[in-house]
Structure 1
Amino acid sequence: MPDAAMDLPVVDLAPYIEISTKNDGGFLPIEVRDLCLQVSRSLRETGALLVKDPRCSTEDNDRFLDMMERYFEMPDEFKRKQERPELHYQVGVTPEGVEVPRSLIDSFLQQKIKMMSPDSQPSIPTRKDPKWRYMWRVGSRPKSTRFKELNAEPVIPEGFPEWKETMDSWGSKMISSIEVAAEMAAVGFNLPKDSFTSLMKQGPHLLGPTGSNLQRHGFEGTVFAGYHYDLNFLTIHGRSRFPGLNIWLRNGQKVEVKVPVGCLLIQSGKQLEWLTGGECLAGMHEVVVTDRTLNSIEIARQQNHSLWRVSSTLFAHIASDVVLQPLGHFAEAPNASRYPALYAGEYVEQELSAINLKGSKTVHLG
């Protein structure tokens, strides 16, 4: 079992937000610079960070979760109308049984798991992920791009008049949190403050909530999302109503996530790893039904609440046509040569193919 406590700092973004609205970032008070160092240190040493953003309220998250629970409770044949496999499932719904857990196909990860201590090992999935996911683009799209499938128009299900406003509102608020954290990380890394955010402009950012049917799959040990990293720049999670997310810190420690009320969890993705020449490693994580999940299922049953576990997750990306390569002094990092220059969109397509979301590769599993 993972450790009960999550030893991650909670960084209040408010002081940086307040300062940045008053000036162009030329001068930062020492206490704000210390917060920036805390952000960069946490991403480098643990791959994760808890933040508090006064612009992202618990009410916003609850409104989003309420709507997504109603959507995932709809019949499968209704949800499949929003399926877009020809667009690599990068907009609309991805049904359960489509996405392949990285740990089932990646021999490097499999070796890594074997070398872990038994109490740090992830749960090993035996099939494709039994979770649904909805992908919703957040923000403006580029007028021209080499990667049209990664920048397609959003899909809106019928019968949800509040859909677009709810998705855009919550998505844009979480993107704003990511942008502030990215600026603070850049300052902490002794880079120009817009080093990351300038590359994020018109990126294919995705609000990507998952829906896991606990009525059908709510048995201890069920793996909804097998051990994996995220292919994007930074991932941000609001609170879910059911526990089950485990993350691995850089030291190999397995930690059960407990996001405090009013906080958001940020994890480093593979694009950040690329831009820092491997100084920040992409955070590994999984979603599994635990004994705490079972307790929450029982409480939800007693209170007649939804038994769909919805994640409040947003994937922030580097723009598809930007060339990924180590930035500034990170070009001199010891492992920088492992991160050759390539388009962000090209990298994303390679990853999507590997996990069975891009049609050029079919993976047959149970």
Structure 2
Amino acid sequence: MTVKQVQASTLVLPIIDLRAFLSDPESAEAKAECEKAAEALTKYSALAVRDPRVSEDENRKFLDTMEDYFAQPYDAKLPDARPDFGYQVGVTPENTEKPRCGRDESCNAMVAQMAEENKPLPYDGTDPKWRFFWRIGEAPKETQFQRLNASPVMPAAFPQWETVMNTWGYLMHDAVSVLAEMLAIGFGLPRKTFVDMAKYGPHLLAPTGSDLEKYGKVGTVLAGFHTDLNFLTIHGKSRFPGLHVWTREGQKLLAKVPDGCLLVQAGKQMQWLTGGHVTAGFHEVCVVEDTLKSIERQKAQNRPLWRISSTLFYHIASDNVLRPLGGFATPQALKQYPDILAGKQVQAELGFISLMDEKTV
């Protein structure tokens, strides 16, 4: 869908540097970064991370591989789809996933109250993006949620697939795991609270691919207005700008990720565990004026015109219970966020976005 859009202000996200924490988690500098991370996520539902273990060269290799994968003919990719597993492994074709807000009355009511300059672009259709899901991390030995913990899919034309996916996936997983420890400290919880709950989670390396030859007009919505259903989402820097984020006050901003940094956003499971202290971050991806400059640069390098997001969804383990923790467990929060198995919460969300048959929820 293509519409005229209002130019949003640019937000340079706060940068959380992991160096001090990796060196000495007990140092004053590390503790200050923990508090800074908690404040940033509370204010913006997003932040930037600088991890000395993650190189831009690895991001480049990953983006190159995914551009080549998505640039294959449509029918060459379809054997990699697993609709019977809610597309939770393998490829999801374009125009399959629907933004959750298109079916959520409370979300629509919130948008109706926004000032015109802060409103998202239309989000009532399907997203024209493709996606590939690749499991990262150890699977649980026993689980009630086998469909959320399925075996991986190997694309036939890419013998290097497993190495490339695991290399980038574990870099992202390790970075967001350290941040999860820092956030726990920043929120006054025991350091291992979140990482222990995320052990054996259905973490998914989940790159999207949007064909900018087909969908490269300014105002085209590539991923409609939504929040993520998981705990934390982490991305490498995309080659094409176009991510809008919303502050909890409802201000729409074009996110700018500094060079050498990763982008992290809060998801629904974070909102649940903090009793709404942190809200899942609303965002959309669309084609903006600066996207056109990146298209020209990509053409000059004779590379496929596919916008890739090098995304990893970091999850709470499916069989763990979501409930407000520690000081977040107020009577009001416990009423608003009642106990639910993380796997049940994920299944319900997948039904909303048309990836899993709601009869199984």
Smaller-chain TM-score range? over 0.9
Greater Cα offset, 344-353 or 253-262: 253-262
Report how far residue 294 of structure 1 moved.
Answer: 1.8
Structure 1 CA distance for aligned equivalents of residues 262 and 42 of structure 2: 18
Structure 1 CA distance for aligned equivalents of residues 79 and 92 of structure 2: 11
**Which position in structure 1 is the counterpart of 2:353?**
355
Matched to 2:271, the amino acid is E
**Which position in structure 2 is the counterpart of 1:52?**
50
Report how far residue 94 of structure 1 moved.
Answer: 0.2
SS at match of 2:263: strand
Q: Check whether the contact 1:2–1:120 (CA below 8 A) recurs between aligned residues.
A: no
**Which position in structure 1 is the counterpart of 2:243?**
245
Structure 2 CA distance for aligned equivalents of residues 351 and 65 of structure 1: 28
Q: Check whether the contact 1:46–1:251 (CA below 8 A) recurs between aligned residues.
A: no
Q: Check whether the contact 1:101–1:125 (CA below 8 A) recurs between aligned residues.
A: yes
SS at match of 1:274: helix
Distance 1:52 1:194, change over 3 A: same
**Which position in structure 2 is the counterpart of 1:285?**
283
**Which position in structure 1 is the counterpart of 2:233?**
235
Distance 1:2 1:177, change over 3 A: farther
**Which position in structure 1 is the counterpart of 2:24?**
19
**Which position in structure 2 is the counterpart of 1:129?**
127
**Which position in structure 2 is the counterpart of 1:216?**
214
Is 1:146 the counterpart of 2:151 in the alignment? no
Of 8, 11, 24, which residue of structure 1 is paired with 2:13?
8
| Structure 1 residues 293-344: Cα deviation after superposition (integer angstroms, max 9, x where no partner) | 1222133223322200011111000000001111111111743321100100
Structure 1 CA distance for aligned equivalents of residues 267 and 196 of structure 2: 17
SS at match of 1:6: strand
Q: Check whether the contact 1:96–1:132 (CA below 8 A) recurs between aligned residues.
A: yes
Structure 1 CA distance for aligned equivalents of residues 64 and 296 of structure 2: 19
Matched to 1:13, the amino acid is L
Q: Check whether the contact 1:226–1:286 (CA below 8 A) recurs between aligned residues.
A: yes
**Which position in structure 1 is the counterpart of 2:340?**
342
**Which position in structure 2 is the counterpart of 1:98?**
96
Between the two proteins, what is the percent identity of the paired residues? 49
Unaligned runs of 5+ in 1: 21-27
**Which position in structure 2 is the counterpart of 1:203?**
201
* Number of matched pairs: 355
Pairwise mapping of residues 284-323 of structure 1 onto structure 2 (< 5 A)? 284-323=282-321
Structure 2 CA distance for aligned equivalents of residues 90 and 146 of structure 1: 15
**Which position in structure 2 is the counterpart of 1:159?**
157
Structure 2 CA distance for aligned equivalents of residues 293 and 106 of structure 1: 30
Q: Check whether the contact 2:98–2:124 (CA below 8 A) recurs between aligned residues.
A: no
- TM-score normalised by the chain length of structure 1: 0.94
Q: Check whether the contact 2:324–2:333 (CA below 8 A) recurs between aligned residues.
A: no
- TM-score normalised by the chain length of structure 2: 0.96
SS at match of 2:230: coil
Q: Check whether the contact 2:90–2:152 (CA below 8 A) recurs between aligned residues.
A: yes
Report how far residue 112 of structure 1 moved.
Answer: 0.8
Matched to 1:72, the amino acid is F
